[in-house]
Chains A and B, each alone.
Chain A
Amino acid sequence: MDGKRCSATILIADDEPNICLALKFLLEDHGCDVRCAMDGEEAIQEIQRSPPDLLLLDLAMPKRSGFEVCQTARSDPKLTSMRILVMSAQCQDVAVEKALALGADGFLAKPFSNAQVVEAITSLIDQGQLNYA
């Protein structure tokens, strides 16, 4: 996305309002259409209501964990084109492996820099040939 505008729709699922705010600001600044969900259940409802191009998903969330959201999304045939980028402070190898096994496309360990998150999203967008302006 560096130097480019991106028209992808992104759903940020994280129960930390501060990071949601910062990421929404950052990604909107790059031209994305960004929505936020504050727990796992809301995240599932949002992706089912209007599937985003990319789900930026925290693992530790109330109501439904990021793993459950990931697994639910992957069991829905309508959501196969949606990319899932997991971000978590649980950075044990097992958590990464479990997230990938349950259908995540990438993993970002918290804390991360703005550049890292932009690069990770760009890479997934490139793989999924999402919409560029």
Chain B
Amino acid sequence: MNKSGCMCIRRLLIFLLIISSSLTAEERHEQVVILGSGPSGMSAAIYTARANLSTLVLETAPPEEEELSYVIDNYPGFPQGISGFQLQQKMREQATRFGAKIEQGDVKAIDLSHRPFAVTMEEGETIYAETLIVALGTIAKPLGIESEKSLTGYGVSLCTVCDAFLYTNKEVVVVGDGDLALQEALTLANYASKITLIPQGGALKASKIIQNKLFSNPKIQILWNYQVADIKDPIEKNVTGVVLKGMISNDVKFYPCDGVFVAVGTKPNSDLFKGQLDMDQNGYIITKDHTMHTSVPGVFAAGNIADPRYRQAVIAAGMGGMAGIDAFLYIKNLEKEEAL
């Protein structure tokens, strides 16, 4: 190859290098970034995408996987009920029809000190958002026992729907007294040989319809007035049973089982925003004056993360719609101010 040919290729390579580096260095900028893809997040996305705002939904690790797995009987428009997964799927289709982008990824940090807000992903990318809608829902509350953490993955379950099959013909313990705990016990009854429900008290909080199903299942028994004090055996790295403490009798006993399913309630998934957004004492994000505005202008909250009272799919979807409208009005207002 002659000298001029070499020079040409060299120039071409340098040009391509510059183009590619400028492309990779490009910052991502969205008018609306929505954290969470449950009913509130997807509903917000439908509103903002339909209003022609560039909308990105970040689907983080699913916090309410268990609840999504069961049939929702009280969501209007579905007379036969609909599974949480199917409902979410329909909402996704609706949001993407209007141009919303849905991506998976874990958020590492969020900076709300100035706008556009910086959302840094676990993989290192930073996305800049004109407005942010926080719809991260709630996450499962742990029992708070030391051995619970070390035995997660070794018999303490994170997901009944995933793991129930692995307990075919085995004996399991379910801890909790609400709808979710009873649903888990009923799911497990399709596989396990014996299920012991430990409500950690003397009564159930679950709805009557689920209680009746539970009482009529011969595989499920309830151990009243005992609390789980410990899970064995962290040294063996395998669940072999639970240590129970009597709430009335005060006696302590070992109760053998192969797996432990914890369903003692949920807490708002709001740790990322501690010190940045106003919250109540339990971590629920506070919204202002019958709107979805939070304490930071341009940041909105919707769904269970901002709802300590109702926590229903239909309410979350409604709050998502409100947050979408609030984000739209906020951006329009900014544009008007900039035009002046």
Does B associate with A? no
Residues of B at under 8 Å CB distance from A?
Answer: none
Residues of A at under 8 Å CB distance from B?
Answer: none
